[in-house]
């Protein structure tokens, strides 16, 4: 069976290894992995900044690129939710594009959900030695209702101990342009999260959204802490 990757702009430009890891896991499960090269972004940065018109241009491009894909797998809860939950709003006055959005949306899968619900794979044969803690990214948690899935996948990784932090569901403070419009508030939010992570004594923070991890790693590095952040796909790809 063929799956198409939508790696998202942030993974493409900043964390390409996440996309490679995702492809490796999917190939290991026997999928033929396809990468439509005309892909760019889902449009969320413009939509969340108050520019729906500009977001529409990007969203139209996305729908065009993935027109014929049967399964679209995304290493991000936030970008998945943009497509499955917010294209509705973006195209509310454009019936043709709205129909296209409705056709594509059910084929868009956040990576961990694809593994569990389509591939039906809880144990992907990964090994990762260490204590990890899982950060619930907001749009995955509250818009896609993804909570236990990634934890179930992590529980099956050999050598891995999952230790919950006390505020796993609290926002990391990224919030797209919020992080640069209100840098001090955003930074303070991340530091609260880091305090909670430190208490777990985990060496690794795992999430299904690279944008949250970029924010957390940025604050971790600024504080000089011995903690690394990894996307779930990277953990599942290691052996």
Q: Which CB atom, from 119 or from 213, has the smaller least distance to another protein?
A: 213
Least CB distance to another protein at residue 4 (A): 12
Q: Which CB atom, from 16 or from 125, has the smaller least distance to another protein?
A: 16
Angle between helical axes of 95-104 and 52-65 (0-180°, round to 10): 50
Token code pair at residue 56? 């529409």
Largest CA distance in the chain: 52
Least CB distance to another protein at residue 129 (A): 25
Q: Which CB atom, from 39 or from 200, has the smaller least distance to another protein?
A: 39
Q: Which CB atom, from 157 or from 234, has the smaller least distance to another protein?
A: 234
Q: Which CB atom, from 52 or from 130, has the smaller least distance to another protein?
A: 52
Radius of gyration of the chain (CA): 17
Q: Which CB atom, from 60 or from 113, has the smaller least distance to another protein?
A: 60
Least CB distance to another protein at residue 143 (A): 7
Binding site for another protein (CB under 8 A): 7, 9, 11-17, 19-20, 23, 35, 37-41, 43, 45-55, 57-58, 60-61, 89, 138-139, 142-143, 169-171, 173-190, 192, 214-215, 217-219, 221-222
Token code pair at residue 52? 């729906």
Least CB distance to another protein at residue 44 (A): 10
Instruction: Tell which residue, 140, 160, 120, has the closest CA to residue 210.
Output: 140
Q: Which CB atom, from 88 or from 123, has the smaller least distance to another protein?
A: 88
In our burial notation (b when 16+ CB lie closer than 10 A, e otherwise), range 1-30 reads eebbbbbbbbbeeebeebbbbbbbbbeebe
Least CB distance to another protein at residue 81 (A): 10
Instruction: Tell which residue, 136, 130, 137, 120, has the closest CA to residue 157.
Output: 130
What are the C-alpha distances in Å from 235 to residues 71, 125, 138, 199?
A: 22, 11, 20, 21
Least CB distance to another protein at residue 153 (A): 22
Least CB distance to another protein at residue 233 (A): 12
φ and ψ at 123, to 5 degrees? -105, 110
Say if CB 210 and CB 230 are below 8 A apart. no
Q: What gap in Å lies between CA 197 and CA 83, rounded to an integer?
A: 30
């Amino acid at each position: 069976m063929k799956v198409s990757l939508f790696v998202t702009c942030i993974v493409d430009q900043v964390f390409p290894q996440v996309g490679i890891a995702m492809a490796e896991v999917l190939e290991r499960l026997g999928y033929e992995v396809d990468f439509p090269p005309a892909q760019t972004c889902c449009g969320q940065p413009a939509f969340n900044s108050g520019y729906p018109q500009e977001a529409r241009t990007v969203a139209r491009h996305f729908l065009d690129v993935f027109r014929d894909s049967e399964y679209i797998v995304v290493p991000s809860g936030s970008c998945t939710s943009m497509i499955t939950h917010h294209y509705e709003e973006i195209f509310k006055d454009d019936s043709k594009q709205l129909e296209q959005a409705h056709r594509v949306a059910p084929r868009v899968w956040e990576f961990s959900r694809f593994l569990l619900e389509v591939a039906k794979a809880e144990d992907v044969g990964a090994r990762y030695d260490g204590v990890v803690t899982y950060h619930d990214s907001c749009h995955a948690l509250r818009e896609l209702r993804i909570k236990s899935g990634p934890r179930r996948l992590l529980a099956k990784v050999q050598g891995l101990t999952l230790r919950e932090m006390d505020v796993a569901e609290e926002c990391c403070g990224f919030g797209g342009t919020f992080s640069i419009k209100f840098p001090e508030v955003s930074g303070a939010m991340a530091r609260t999260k880091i305090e909670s992570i430190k208490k777990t004594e985990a060496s690794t923070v795992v999430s299904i959204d690279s944008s949250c991890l970029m924010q957390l790693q940025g604050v971790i590095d600024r504080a000089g802490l011995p903690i690394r952040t990894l996307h779930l796909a990277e953990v599942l790809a290691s052996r």
